[in-house]
């Protein structure tokens, strides 16, 4: 493919759960009807079905991993450096799938969707979902696409959590899993940050118990996003990127408006986020994160929880990630090894903090590309 030609991709929809039998059962005990899954696929499935790769997106991601929807799209998908023709996850070799999580606001059924029972938006009537619920919906998509087994499940951050959930729930349905910058269970510190972010939304008078008007400012969501954003960077990367630089002024402005470059950056990130994300989705998805603990059903014993696992693993962490620190990946790797799983592990030296999984495409790309090629050769050689 020429560099000058945009790689054009098309979002698709898969609707299920119209009937009682077909509805999606949720961990909270409720059922979800008329569930839409927005997804994209790239490349072609080999006749033997061996080259399917599922990519799982992070908190604010979506199904649009790479390429452009139209030639004049300003930006490509969120992981375009990693996925596409000739890229590390090479769509000339692999059949790549990515879907928006349920609870999200980028096409799949979530709080912003119409509740089939009322004809109105769910908003806060949407049921509280879990990572396992998201994965159960992805499993339906897998069946719909007639994929028998994934060559690999690849996900960073919350995407990695879904990959781990897949590995213990459907151990026969994948050859390998690549959890990146993630954890087997959310730490109390991460739960605490989520709590504060949600409180900012819940106490925002414009949010109106979830029934906010499209035109109203969502300051609560903006605050939640700014806070989360700090946890995605590292102390070091903030020093490099902003230091104590001032914005627009030569000296302190002696007021409470943005004065430092870092304040200006956060304000921009917060505002931008409210333009594209649903405050209610933010509540539901962060709650799913809090509740994520694959060891829960095994009484907190991670090694025991991972007993069902059968596939190979490539676990990747980043040295300056303090949201899901390397120690949590090491804990996961040890628990996998206890189960005699075949695990490769790398802690990539990076100053980018948690966001490194999006920014260290070179190092990460080489690692993933080799791992996937080896997996495909092993499977096809059988």
Tell me the catalytic residues.
Answer: 157, 321, 354
**Using the rule CB under 8 A, is 200 a contact of a second copy?**
yes
**Using the rule CB under 8 A, is 61 a contact of a second copy?**
no
Piece of 50-58, 150-158, 221-229, 370-378 that binds a second copy (CB under 8 A)? 221-229
Of the residues 256, 340, 381, 382, which one makes contact with a second copy according to CB under 8 A: 256
> Exposed, middle or buried by CB within 10 Å (0-12, 13-18, 19+), for 3?
exposed
Q: Which residues contact 184 (CB under 8 A, 6 or more apart)?
A: 164, 293, 294, 295, 302, 305, 328, 331, 332, 335
In the complex, the smallest distance separating the C-beta of residue 72 from a second copy, rounded to whole angstroms, is: 35
Kindly state the tokens that stand for 219. Answer: 């300051």
Q: Which residues pair with 42 in a beta bridge?
A: 96
* Rg of the chain in Å (alpha carbons): 21
**Using the rule CB under 8 A, is 238 a contact of a second copy?**
yes
Which residue, 243 or 308, is less far from a second copy as judged by CB? Answer: 243
In the complex, the smallest distance separating the C-beta of residue 279 from a second copy, rounded to whole angstroms, is: 12
Half-sphere exposure of 251 (CA within 13 A, CB side): 1
In the complex, the smallest distance separating the C-beta of residue 227 from a second copy, rounded to whole angstroms, is: 5
Long-range contacts of 173-176 (CB under 8 A, 24+ apart): 173/139, 173/142, 173/148, 173/149, 174/149, 174/150, 174/311, 175/149, 175/150, 175/151, 175/311, 175/312, 175/375, 175/378, 175/379, 176/151, 176/152, 176/311, 176/312, 176/313, 176/314, 176/371, 176/372, 176/375
What's the DSSP call for residue 323? S
**Using the rule CB under 8 A, is 303 a contact of a second copy?**
no
In the complex, the smallest distance separating the C-beta of residue 189 from a second copy, rounded to whole angstroms, is: 5
**Using the rule CB under 8 A, is 325 a contact of a second copy?**
yes
In the complex, the smallest distance separating the C-beta of residue 268 from a second copy, rounded to whole angstroms, is: 12
**Using the rule CB under 8 A, is 185 a contact of a second copy?**
yes
Of the residues 9, 37, 223, 314, which one makes contact with a second copy according to CB under 8 A: 223
Question: Which residues make up the interface to a second copy (CB under 8 A)?
Answer: 27-28, 127-128, 185-189, 191-193, 195-196, 198-200, 202-205, 219-220, 222-223, 226-227, 230, 233, 235, 238-239, 241-244, 252, 254-256, 258-263, 266, 270, 283, 287, 290-291, 293, 300, 322, 325
């Amino acid at each position: 493919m020429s560099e000058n030609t945009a790689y054009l991709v098309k979002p698709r929809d898969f609707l299920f759960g119209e009937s009682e039998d077909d509805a999606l059962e949720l961990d909270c005990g409720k059922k979800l009807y008329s569930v839409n899954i927005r997804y994209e696929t790239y490349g072609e499935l080999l006749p033997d079905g061996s080259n399917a790769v599922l990519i799982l997106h992070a908190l604010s991601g979506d199904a649009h991993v790479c390429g452009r929807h139209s030639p004049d799209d300003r930006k490509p998908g969120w992981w375009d450096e990693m996925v596409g023709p000739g890229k590390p996850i090479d769509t000339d070799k692999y059949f790549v799938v990515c879907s928006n999580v349920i609870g999200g606001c980028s096409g799949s059924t979530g709080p912003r969707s119409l509740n089939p029972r009322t004809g109105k938006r769910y908003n806060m009537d949407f049921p509280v979902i879990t990572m396992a619920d998201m994965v159960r919906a992805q499993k339906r998509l897998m069946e719909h696409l007639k994929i028998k087994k994934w060559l690999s499940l690849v996900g960073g951050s919350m995407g990695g959590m879904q990959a781990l959930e897949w590995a213990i729930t459907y151990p026969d349905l994948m050859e390998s899993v690549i959890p990146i910058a993630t954890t087997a269970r959310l730490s109390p510190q991460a739960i605490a940050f989520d709590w504060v972010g949600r409180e900012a939304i819940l106490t925002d008078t414009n949010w109106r118990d979830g029934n906010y008007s499209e035109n109203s400012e969502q300051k609560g969501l903006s605050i939640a996003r700014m806070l989360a954003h700090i946890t995605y960077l590292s102390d070091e990367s903030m020093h490099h990127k902003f230091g104590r630089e001032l914005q627009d002024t030569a000296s302190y402005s002696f007021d409470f408006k943005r004065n430092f470059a870092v304040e200006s950056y956060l304000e921009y990130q917060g505002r931008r986020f409210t333009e594209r994300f649903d405050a209610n989705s933010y509540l539901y998805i962060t709650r799913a994160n809090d509740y994520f603990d694959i060891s829960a059903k095994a009484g907190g014993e991670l090694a025991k929880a991972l007993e069902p696992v059968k596939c190979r693993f490539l676990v990747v962490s980043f040295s300056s990630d303090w949201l899901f620190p390397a120690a949590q990946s090491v804990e996961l790797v040890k628990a996998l090894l206890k189960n005699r799983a075949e695990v490769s592990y790398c802690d990539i030296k990076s100053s980018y903090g948690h966001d490194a999984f999006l920014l260290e495409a070179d190092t990460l790309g080489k690692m993933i590309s080799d791992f996937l090629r080896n997996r495909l050769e092993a499977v096809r050689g059988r």
